Structure 1
C-alpha cells in the first residue's frame, strides 16, 4: 500500500504547483523532441517518462565528474550509483540494464555484454543526452531499463565558421603529482550553402584517484579502470542538402581509452573497513583498453508520399581488453603447468544495421511505419594465447514496427500505441570449450524466436504545461549467450536443443503527472515492471553467471524545480524509491530482494542553481539511503550503509569563453562504493573506496 499512498501524497504538491504556476506568464518553452522515441512529436505527446540533459547542463556535469555515465548518475535518481570504473556492470536504470546508443546506433553487444557501452565516445562530441526511462522496444534490443541516447554535435544553423575548444586540469585533494589529469579538445564547424561539416579531436589524461583519506584507490585489475589512463578521440560529420527536403549526412567517430598498466591492487580488509589500495608496479599482459569505432550514413526526405522518411545505415566495432591473471578458467596443461598460465580476455564485436522509418500526419493521427535490421558478430577470445573463450557467434534481427498517436479534442487527449515484431536468429558453429570445462565438444546450432512487442497509453493535457499519462510497454533483450556457451561442462550438448534463448521480456507499466508552467517544473511517476523469465547476474566463484528467474520491480520517482524570491536562484529536488524482488527457488513467487549487482538504492537529490549576469553557481547533493537486502540467502555483510556526497561548480562567462571551477565530493567524504559494499563479502582485493575530493579548472571557448 505504501506506493499508492506515496503517489497520492506526491500529487498534492503537484496540484499546488500547478495552481501557483497559473499566476505566472503563459509563455511556454519550445516543445522538446526526443529523437530516441522515433517520432517528431514533442515528448509531452508521448505516454512515457523522458529527460533531456542539454549541452549547458552536460558541460557543467562533465567539469564536475568527467563522464556521461557520472553525469546521468548525478542527475537521475533512479540510475544506480556510478562505479567510477571503466566497467558499467551493475549500473542499472530503474533496476534494469539500459540501452546506450549514439545517434540511435546501439553500443551494447547483444551476445556478450562487455559492460563498456557507456564509454564509446568522448563527451566533448555530445550535444545532448536523451533518456527514456522504463522498458521499451523503441530502439530494439536491450532497452529493458530504458534508453540512453547520446546525440552528437552538428554544424551551425547559419552560414559561416564556428569553433569550440576545451582546456581543463584536474587535481585530487592533496595535490599529489600522480593525481593530476587534463583534457584538451577542439571542434571546428562550417556551413556553406547546401554543405556543412564538423570535425574535432579530444585527448584526455586521467590521474590516479584517491579516497577521502588520501589513499590511492585500487584499480579494477580485471574489468579495467578510468583512473590512471589516457584516451584519444576523433569525430567528424558532414552533410549535403540535395533540395526538396532531401539530405544526406555521414558521421564517423573513433574512441580509444587505454590504461597505463603501472598500478597494482593491494588487498584491503573488509572486517576493519580498510579499502583496497594501489601501488606502483608492472602489470603483466596488455593494459585494459576500450576501442570503439562507428560509421553512419543517414538519408532524410521531409516530403516523401506526404510523410518524412529517415533511413540510417551504420557500422560499429568495439574491441575491449580486460585485465588478466592465472585464473582457473584459463588453465591448460598442454600450454603451461596448471596454475601458471597467464591470460586475459578480449571482447570483439562488429555490428551493422539499418534503421528506417516513415512518419506522416493523417489529420489528427500521427503514423510511424518502419523496420530495423541488426547483424552482430561477437567473439570473446583470450588475447595472450589466441584461444576462443566464447565461440564466434552471429546475431540477426529483423523488426518491422508501427506506431500511432491519435489527438482528440484539439490534443487535450491522446491515444498512443504500436507493435514491433522481432525476428531473431543466433548462429553458433561447432566448438570446443576451454580445458577447464572438460574440454567439451559442443554441437552448434541456430536457435531462433519471434515475438510481437506491444505498447500503448493515454496522455491527458487539459492545458499546455500540465499533463497526466498512463502506459504499458514491453522491452526485451536476449540472455547473455556468451556466459552460457563458454561454461558448458557436460558432454554431448547440442545447442539447438540445449540453449534457451527465449528473450527476457520486461512488462513496464507506469502512470505519471507533470507540471511545466512558469517557474515550476514538477513530476511524479509510479511504475511497476515484471519479467516471468528474467535475467539475473549471480556471482559464482570469481565471475558472474546468468540465471533465468522471475523478477518484479516497482518504484516511485519525484522531481521538482522552481524559482525562488531570490533573483536568479532555482532550487531542485529529486527522489527515487526502488523495490526489486526475485524468485530465488523457482516456485513462481518472488521471495528475495534483488541484490546490489542488479538494482540501485533509494536516492534523494538536492540542487541549487544561481545565475546573475555572467556568473552561475551550482551546488548539488546526492544522498544514497542505506539498504537491507531480504531473502532466504541474505548475507548481512552485503547490506548497504549509505552515503552522502556534495558537488559544486562556479562558472564565469567572459568575452574569451567560459571559465569553470568545479569540485566533486566537496566534503571529502570517505565511503565504499555501492557495488563493492553489496557484493563479494570475502573479497578484500575488490573492496573499492569512492573518489574523494577532486577539483577541475576548465575553459570552454566558443568562436
Structure 2
C-alpha cells in the first residue's frame, strides 16, 4: 500500500503515502491511518509523516516474484520511479529516483559502503520476505547509502496461534520454446511453531535457473565480468526464534544464509552492434572458479512497547558477504610481469563484514502529548577488501569504515491533527582506515600512502503535513542523505604518483539534498497521489564506464528533478481495479568543472521516463492481473548519440485459482514476446560488442503454493 504523508527524521524518520499499483487491494482511508512503516524507525502512523513510501505486501510480492523471478525485478516492475533492471545479478546503474537505493533486511543494511559489489538486492530469498517497504528520496534513516531511498525487506513474522503451521512452494518455469536449457524450478518450505510466549520459524528454499532466451529465442549474452543470474543455483536458509518477556516486551534472534553459484555451463559470444546482432552464449566452461554470491546475517533485538511510557528498541547485527565475480581476460587485470599482456585470465572477489547496533526510544512528552520525541544512536563498522582470485593480488586494500551517529526527532500535532510539523537531525561521525597499498599495473603500479580520513556532518530534515479533510493530505519536506562515493573504485583507480589518502579529495562524502512536495487523495473508490521532488549534490558520484566494462567513479555536481503520479480506482464491475503510474525524471551534471551543468546524466546514472498500467480482477477463488510497462525513448544531451534510448514496452500477466488444497498460479513474463535491447545495454558502451544484451523474452512459470 502506498502512503503519502510526512517525513522528517534523517535518522529516525517515518514515512507514508497513499496508494499505488503495488498494493494488493485498496484499503479504506482510516485503515491507512494506522499503517506503521518499520523502515521509518518510528511507531507513529504513516499519516503523521511527510514522505513517499510504497509497501508491497506478501501476496503482491509473491505474485510478482512468480512473474519476474526476484525481489529486485519485482520492485522494478511495480514502481515507476525505479529504473529498468540490467536483468543480471549486478545492480550497477539501477537507481531509484536517479540515485542508488539502500537495500536492507529488517533495517540491516546490505550495501557495502567501501566497495559496492552491487549484489545487495540478492542477499535473501523472497520466499522468506513478508513485505517490502520502499522509502523514496535521499534520507539518512538507516545511515549511509540511501541517496535514492530505502528498500527494506521485512522477513516473515512469527505465527499468531499456538501449534504448528507453515507453507510450501513448488514451481517450474521455461522459456518460450520449452527447451531444456531454459528450464528452471524452485522448491521452498517454511515451518512455524508457537507455544505460549515462545515462537520459532525455520525454512529452506532451493532454486535452479536455466539460460534466458530473448524474444527471438536466442540465448541472452553472458556477462563474464559482473556475473549472471541465469544458469545459477541458489540455496537459502532462514530461522527466527523469539520470546515474549511480557505483554509489551519481546526478544528475538533472526538468521539467514543465501548462496548463489553459477553452474558454468556457458561462455560468452560477442555480438555486433553495427549489424544489430546481440551477444549470446555457447556451451563451454569459463576458466577459474564459478561465480558465487554468499550472504550471511545474524541479528538480535529487544523491543518494549511500554517502557517508561514509551517504545524502546535495541538491535545488534552481524552481516558478511563474499562475492566472486566471473572474470575474464580484461585490460584492467593485465600485468606484463606476470603474463604477456592480453593473455592473463583473472577474476576478483569482494569480501565484506559488518558489525552494527541500533538503539532508540520514542514517547509523547508527559503533559504535552501532542509532541512525540525520538532519540537514538547507531553504530556501524564495515571491513571490506577486494582481491584477485588467480594471482592473489590486492585490488582494493582491506579498509575499515566506522560510523557513529546519534539522532533526534520531533513530531508535533496541531489543531486536532489538521497540521503536523516534524523535524530532526542526525549527526554522522565517520572515519576510514586505509592501509598503504600499490595499485595494479593497469593503473601504473602506484604506491599509495594510506591514512584515516574522517568527516563529521549534521544531516537535517524538516517538513509539514496538512490534512484539510479526511482522506486528503498535502505535505512538503526537506531531507539530507549521504553516502561515500564507492571507495574501492576510487582507491583502485589511483593512477597519479605520490598520493596520500588523507589529502585525497575524492574520498569526501556525497551529500544529497532532497526537497519534495506531494498530495494524496483517498476518497471513495479513488486512491491517487502525486509528488514532485528535486535533489542536488555539490560533489556527487557519476559512474564512468571503461572499455572493458569496469566502472570508475568521477566526482561531479549533480541536479535531479522528477514527477510521480499514481492512481488506483475501483470500477463498477465488482472485483475489477485499474491502476496507472507515471514517473518523469531528469538529471544534469557538470562534466568540465566550469560550474555549469552542461550534460545529461547517462543511462548508467538515470532512468527513462515510464508509464505503468495494470488491471486486477478477483471473483471468488479466481484472480488475475495484467500489467504493462512503457519505457519511453530518451536523448541524452551532451552524451554520445549512440547512447540515446529507443524505448520499449513489456506486458506481464498471471492467473490464480485457490484450489481446495493450495493455490495454483500461471504467470507469463513479457507476454508479447517483445524483442528488445535492455536499457542499460542500449545506453552504455556504444562500441562494446561483448555487452550488447537483449532482454528476456516470454517466460512462463507454473506454481503451487499451500499453507497449513
TM-score range, shorter chain: over 0.9
Among 455, 460, 464, the alignment partner of 2:461 is 455
Give the match for residue 305 of structure 1: 308
Among 576, 583, 591, the alignment partner of 2:598 is 591
Among 602, 617, 621, the alignment partner of 2:624 is 617
Deviation at 1:331, TM superposition (A): 2.5
Give the match for residue 573 of structure 2: 566
Deviation at 1:26, TM superposition (A): 7.7
Give the match for residue 666 of structure 1: 671
Give the match for residue 535 of structure 1: 541
Among 379, 400, 408, the alignment partner of 2:385 is 379
Determine if contact 2:375/2:407 at 8 Å carries over to the other structure. yes
SS of residue paired to 2:672: coil
Q: Quote the RMSD (CA, aligned, Å).
A: 1.6
Name the CA distance, whole Å, in 2 between partners of 1:335 and 1:678.
35
Matched, 1:347 2:350: yes
Determine if contact 2:33/2:45 at 8 Å carries over to the other structure. no
Give the match for residue 522 of structure 1: 528
Deviation at 1:28, TM superposition (A): 4.3
Question: In the TM superposition, what whole-angstrom CA distance separates every residue of 1:300-335 from its partner, at most 9, and x where no partner exists?
Answer: 122222211101100000001111122232233443
1:418–1:638 CA distance, 2 compared to 1 (3 A)? same
Normalization by structure 2: what TM-score? Answer: 0.94
Give the match for residue 86 of structure 1: 89
Give the match for residue 479 of structure 1: 485
Name the CA distance, whole Å, in 1 between partners of 2:289 and 2:498.
36
Give the match for residue 635 of structure 2: 628
Deviation at 1:539, TM superposition (A): 1.6
Deviation at 1:338, TM superposition (A): 3.0
Give the match for residue 519 of structure 2: 513
Give the match for residue 76 of structure 1: 79
Determine if contact 1:344/1:384 at 8 Å carries over to the other structure. yes
SS of residue paired to 1:243: coil
Give the match for residue 4 of structure 1: none
Deviation at 1:272, TM superposition (A): 2.4
Matched, 1:677 2:679: no
SS of residue paired to 2:82: coil
Matched, 1:639 2:647: no
SS of residue paired to 1:482: helix
Give the match for residue 284 of structure 1: 287
Among 419, 429, 437, the alignment partner of 2:425 is 419
Name the CA distance, whole Å, in 2 between partners of 1:27 and 1:403.
25
Name the CA distance, whole Å, in 2 between partners of 1:426 and 1:27.
47
Question: In the TM superposition, what whole-angstrom CA distance separates every residue of 1:546-573 from its partner, at most 9, and x where no partner exists?
Answer: 1111100110000000010111100000
Give the match for residue 654 of structure 2: 649
Moved more, 686-695 or 435-444: 435-444
Question: Structure 1: which 5+ residue stretches go unaligned?
Answer: 1-13, 18-23
Determine if contact 1:448/1:501 at 8 Å carries over to the other structure. no
Give the match for residue 159 of structure 1: 162
Matched, 1:190 2:197: no
Matched, 1:577 2:584: yes
Give the match for residue 367 of structure 1: 373
Deviation at 1:669, TM superposition (A): 0.5
Deviation at 1:27, TM superposition (A): 6.2
Matched, 1:95 2:98: yes
Give the match for residue 8 of structure 1: none
Name the CA distance, whole Å, in 2 between partners of 1:29 and 1:541.
50
Question: Structure 2: which 5+ residue stretches go unaligned?
Answer: 1-16, 21-26
Name the CA distance, whole Å, in 2 between partners of 1:334 and 1:582.
39
Deviation at 1:436, TM superposition (A): 2.9
Aligned length: 681
Name the CA distance, whole Å, in 1 between partners of 2:339 and 2:484.
36
Deviation at 1:30, TM superposition (A): 6.2
1:433–1:563 CA distance, 2 compared to 1 (3 A)? same
Matched, 1:319 2:325: no
Normalization by structure 1: what TM-score? Answer: 0.95
Moved more, 321-330 or 193-202: 321-330
Name the CA distance, whole Å, in 2 between partners of 1:438 and 1:558.
50
Name the CA distance, whole Å, in 2 between partners of 1:27 and 1:154.
24
Determine if contact 2:564/2:583 at 8 Å carries over to the other structure. yes
